[in-house]
């Protein structure tokens, strides 16, 4: 999934946000570990009320994921 930002949150194009949906918590952990390698975790991977696993990371290329 990808989207643009609301007008009041918009900054001149600097990057993008990507949401990845997978079938299992193990697959989510694998993706998260790979994407966070060399990056910065902004929300650690954890179970939430809406997902078995959810996390946020800025990857090593400085892209928010």
Is residue 26 within 8 A of residue 34, CB to CB? The reply is no
14-44 pLDDT per residue, tens: 667 889 999 999 999 999 999 999 999 999 9
pTM exceeding 0.75: no
In the predicted structure, residue 65 carries a pLDDT above the cut 60: no
DSSP per residue, 20-54: ---SSHHHHHHHHHHHHTTSEEEEEEE--SS-SSE
């Amino acid at each position: 999934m990808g989207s643009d930002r609301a007008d009041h949150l918009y900054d001149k194009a600097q990057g993008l946000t990507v949401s990845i949906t997978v079938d299992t918590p193990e697959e989510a952990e694998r993706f998260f570990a790979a994407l966070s390698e060399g990056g910065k975790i902004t929300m650690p991977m954890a179970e939430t009320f809406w997902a078995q696993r959810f996390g946020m990371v800025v990857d090593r290329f400085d892209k928010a994921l």
